[in-house]
Amino acid sequence: MKQLITGNAAVATAVKLCNVEYIPAYPITPQTEIIELLSRWINEEKMDAKFVTYDSEHSMISAAGAASLVGARTFTASSSQGLLYAFEMLYNVSGWRAPIVLANVSRAVASPITLEPDHNDVLAARDSGFLQIHAETCQEVLDSVIMAYKISEDNRVRLPVIVNLDGFYLSYTREPVDIPAQELVSQFLPEYKPVFGYLDGQNPISMGVTVLSSNAYSYFKYQLHLASLNALNVHEEISQQFEKLFGRKYGLVDEYMLDDADYVIVMTNSFATMGKAAINRLRGEGKKVGLLRIRMIRPFPKKIIAEKLAGKKAVGVIDQNISVGSGGILYPEITSALYHSNERPKSIISFIGGLGGKKISISEFRHILSTLETSFHVDKFPVQSVMLFTEDDWGSVKEMLKIAGKGEVSGN
């Protein structure tokens, strides 16, 4: 049954379908609609779960991990400053091997403070041990939450998962979403049974204990890494089961007009839709350009990325984030995935766009393509990440600087 729902409602609907039992919460824009819906459904007895508002995201994630270890299927959600406030506990919850699912509704990080999305929030958590699935559409959001529980609770993985959706562009945007039947979801995702059984008086256990031995520390930390890597195969397996039941297929990456493309733009999340529209335009003008969207960012699917980009003339990576002092965050990861390929593209160029939710216009996509073409034909490669920022963008900022009393600002 298709309904026109927001990305936030898609998350909440999936959580309900997954028979989640426990929801620790803390409000933050643009995530709040998720917890408002869930709390309402619980109060209306449409959902059998417990909802608790905590004093902070740090506390919320602590409680989520704890409840999951004891044996309740747990969901939580955050965004931006909230995710950063919880940061210490992200590392703990993955170290506890607690299979929670966290929806992060991407929002750029202060300062300056803003509301619209980029991925500095979620990518800051890339080393935490949480798996990361980044969705492009509201349908993918709903499906990814359901898949996330199955991957997370798989004994080969048993790690928490972040499902990322862009604030505003997905969180508050209604799209037609096929909502699966409860019976099918329950068939796909059976009851959560924790590995060590439920924690109770009969089954005492020590959790989160100090490890003073560096050997033991190295062992446990590397176990996390191996478990995360297992998720690459587990995702493919689960994706096949998902397709069989629901008829929709998700890969680790999503490709668009890639096969015969000479030039490829790499993107993530909802802005990939803008990218695909640009590809359509450029194809119409006879340009052989395609798009690769990375859906699973942790574990990072190096192998498939290298395969998909092998033999291309040049690749442009659009990072909707900025590692201050370095550039795009995903760019070096993609470049290193290709280093040992014999068919490595001649150039791989880093672009930064969409910061704070700034749209990427067709002129910016044209600029990317021409930069790629130039790099291929005349060996000219920008050393630093190229910032996508148009004359119009600059004009509007100059106007604001003037109002803020900074006078006339010259230069480009």
Could you list the residues that contact other proteins (CB under 8 A)? Answer: 21-22, 24, 50, 52, 54-56, 58-60, 62-72, 74, 88-89, 92, 198-202, 204-213, 216
Q: Select 46 or 340, whichever has its Cβ closest to other proteins.
A: 46
Output the smallest distance, CB 60 to other proteins, in A: 7
Q: Select 64 or 122, whichever has its Cβ closest to other proteins.
A: 64
Output the smallest distance, CB 361 to other proteins, in A: 44
Single out the residue of 96, 93, 88, 55 nearest to residue 75, CA to CA: 93
Q: Select 188 or 192, whichever has its Cβ closest to other proteins.
A: 192
Output the smallest distance, CB 90 to other proteins, in A: 11
Determine phi and psi for 405, rounding to 5 degrees. 85, 20
Single out the residue of 77, 69, 33, 322 nearest to residue 192, CA to CA: 69
Q: Select 21 or 254, whichever has its Cβ closest to other proteins.
A: 21
Q: Select 206 or 410, whichever has its Cβ closest to other proteins.
A: 206
Helix (H), strand (E) at residue 352: strand 347-352
Beta bridge partner(s), residue 133 = 163, 296
**Sequence-ordered list of residues with C-beta below 8 angstroms from that of 169, at least 6 positions apart, any chain:** 117, 270, 271, 357
d(C-alpha 98, C-alpha 64), whole Å:
9
Q: Select 191 or 260, whichever has its Cβ closest to other proteins.
A: 191
Output the smallest distance, CB 221 to other proteins, in A: 13
Q: How far apart are the first and last CA of the chain?
A: 51
Q: What is the largest CA-CA distance in the chain?
A: 73
d(C-alpha 131, C-alpha 214), whole Å:
25
Output the smallest distance, CB 64 to other proteins, in A: 6
Single out the residue of 57, 47, 49 nearest to residue 25, CA to CA: 57
d(C-alpha 331, C-alpha 334), whole Å:
5
Q: Select 64 or 314, whichever has its Cβ closest to other proteins.
A: 64
Q: Select 52 or 258, whichever has its Cβ closest to other proteins.
A: 52
- 410: tokens are 């010259």
Query: What is the length of the chain?
Result: 412
Per-residue burial over 194-213, b if 16 or more Cβ lie within 10 Å, else e, is: beeeeeeeeeeeeeeeeeee
**Sequence-ordered list of residues with C-beta below 8 angstroms from that of 218, at least 6 positions apart, any chain:** none
Output the smallest distance, CB 8 to other proteins, in A: 24
Q: Select 216 or 401, whichever has its Cβ closest to other proteins.
A: 216
d(C-alpha 370, C-alpha 378), whole Å:
12
Beta bridge partner(s), residue 347 = 314
Residue type, position 344, single letter:
R
Determine phi and psi for 237, rounding to 5 degrees. -60, -50
Output the smallest distance, CB 96 to other proteins, in A: 9
d(C-alpha 168, C-alpha 270), whole Å:
10
Output the smallest distance, CB 19 to other proteins, in A: 11
Output the smallest distance, CB 67 to other proteins, in A: 4
Q: Select 22 or 169, whichever has its Cβ closest to other proteins.
A: 22
Asked whether the beta carbons of 313 and 345 are under 8 A apart, the reply is yes
- 134: tokens are 């980044």
Q: Select 202 or 412, whichever has its Cβ closest to other proteins.
A: 202
Output the smallest distance, CB 81 to other proteins, in A: 16
Strands (E), 281-322: 289-294, 296-298, 314-319
Output the smallest distance, CB 55 to other proteins, in A: 4
